[in-house]
Structure 1
Amino acid sequence: MTTMKNNADADNAAIMLDAIALAPTQDDDTTLKEAWLLGFDTETTGTGSTDAIVSASLVLRDPAKGYAGDVVAEWVVNPHRHISEGASRVNGFTDEFLEANGAEPSDAIAAIAAIVTAALAKRIPLLAYNAPFDVRMLAGDLKRWKLKALPDELLVVDPLVIDREISHRHGKRTLTYTTEYYGVEPHGDFHDATADTTAAVDLIRPMSTLYPQVGNLRLGDLMDWQRTAHKKWKDSFNEWMQSRGRRPITDNWL
């Protein structure tokens, strides 16, 4: 870990907080196609409840400017725990690299949470593909390092939940396949936190074009709409699982 790397993280976080301070405060009537968004993605030591964040990216999107106007902050984090072989194969991080180059989690995780909290105060939704995973990973690290929790009332956009409800398409729904379906060209390689974050944010425009009901979703209706959509998908998926003698899933959305 170097002082230069830590200073760069702090500078990026400060720039993003300044950008959020200058952003408009949105209200319940703001539509998704008109909304500022804060994209979020993590890479982690694994997928379990005791795993931790090793890399994170936040992308602030002004809908009037699009990708060219994005404000980006990213972190590499020393989780002070072993990264699983499976996670390392996917994200490319190793214990040695994270120990040498990662920021202290108490600093990095606090900075990420401060930005998310500032955005939510402006009613700027947090956007993440398969959002429960990233939100719960962040909440777990905040608890682990005894940091201030996220606000109780979240405002989240999950393109995976939206796509399941509107597209009724066959095939996989990984971020890679979903961006291909909507014609989104990635900016970088998948499983790089910033590339994944940007790709997820980029999905909103083509989704809103192909399915105007998505673009016209009001922020005040967004959470309940996604909870209902997830429950509808889960019930259907569990019918299919049980018909094959497999255990149903029990998780809820946020």
Structure 2
Amino acid sequence: MADTGWTGGPLLGFDTETTGVDVRTDRIVTAAVVVRTATTTEVRTWLVDPGVEIPAEAAAIHGVTTEHARAHGRAPREALAEIADVLTEHGRAGVPVVAYNASFDLTLLDAELARHGLPTLPERLGRPVAPVLDPLVIDRWQDRYRRGKRRLGDLCDLYGITGEGELHSADVDVLATLDVLDAQVLRYPELRSVALDALHSAQRDAHRSWAENFNAWRQREGLPGPGASTSWPVEPRQAG
């Protein structure tokens, strides 16, 4: 089995903690970018004053209150430009983005950039964001019949991954995500032989298949709401 070499890095891990879960309207509170090679790990983090109140339920998850963000956070336009610059620099070099539930973080980042009059990642790159590696999508694709939840913490438990710090801190989550990807490559070694562009496409197709099946189940159960988006790794921008 040929090894395409991508597992040795570099890989760029990305995660955000936010004011909520709506990718169109919620705001970034913290972000982390981790660049990992075979021998090094570089971590960069941002604390952002989102310019709106951080709901108590969100602060209870990631630990950042409105008061703390206002006192210590960066102005959002400035911080967002820096985050996008880092992702763009590595994206132009062909470094894959590794993000758990990538469509959340990448879609929200583009919405935030547009909100502040800044070019989105695709606009900066001149192409869609790719390649992306998403351990959540890979898990649903490679182990589709496993029962139970598939949060990042659940996969850390599944693979026996332990690290310093609690999850729901952006930098801790990125490091855990990269560790989960390493564990998946060990469990599913055939991933090593897939070129990054083909692996990106395979994840896109796997996510669409999962979302269609999930939405069909929701419809059979009579559950309200829009269901899961079939788009990955970025949801299309809405008009207006």
TM-score, normalization by structure 1? 0.83
Indicate the percent of aligned positions where both proteins have the same amino acid: 39
- Give the whole-Å Cα distance in 1 for the aligned partners of 2:164 and 2:133: 20
Task: Name the structure 2 match of 1:3.
Answer: none
Q: Which amino acid aligns with 2:232?
A: W
Tell me if the contact between 2:4 and 2:192 (Cα under 8 Å) persists in the aligned partners: no
Residue 35 (str. 1) matches residue 9 (str. 2): yes
Q: Which amino acid aligns with 1:123?
A: G
Residue 111 (str. 1) matches residue 89 (str. 2): no
Which stretches of structure 1, 4 residues or longer, exceed 3 Å deviation after superposition? 29-32
- Give the whole-Å Cα distance in 2 for the aligned partners of 1:215 and 1:188: 29
Q: Which amino acid aligns with 1:224?
A: S
Q: What do the CA deviations read for 1:115-172 (whole angstroms, capped 9, x no partner)? A: 0001111110111100011101211111111112213321211110000000231111
What is the CA-CA distance between 1:233 and the residue it aligns to?
Answer: 1.0
Please give the root-mean-square deviation of Cα atoms over the aligned residues, in Å. Answer: 1.5
Q: What do the CA deviations read for 1:166-223 (whole angstroms, capped 9, x no partner)? A: 0231111000001111121123110111000100011121111111122322112122
- Give the whole-Å Cα distance in 1 for the aligned partners of 2:228 and 2:178: 28
Gaps of 5+ in 2: 234-240
Tell me if the contact between 1:58 and 1:197 (Cα under 8 Å) persists in the aligned partners: yes
Closer, same or farther: CA 219–243 of 1 in aligned 2, 3 Å? same
Task: Name the structure 2 match of 1:78.
Answer: 49
- Give the whole-Å Cα distance in 2 for the aligned partners of 1:80 and 1:112: 17
Listed as ranges, the matches of 1:185-200 within 5 Å are 185-200=162-177
2:20 to 46, 49, 57: 46
Closer, same or farther: CA 229–31 of 1 in aligned 2, 3 Å? farther
1:236 to 207, 210, 213: 213
TM-score, normalization by structure 2? 0.88
Residue 153 (str. 1) matches residue 128 (str. 2): yes
- Give the whole-Å Cα distance in 2 for the aligned partners of 1:95 and 1:162: 35
Question: Aligned residues, how many?
Answer: 222
- Give the whole-Å Cα distance in 2 for the aligned partners of 1:241 and 1:205: 32
What is the CA-CA distance between 1:230 and the residue it aligns to?
Answer: 0.4
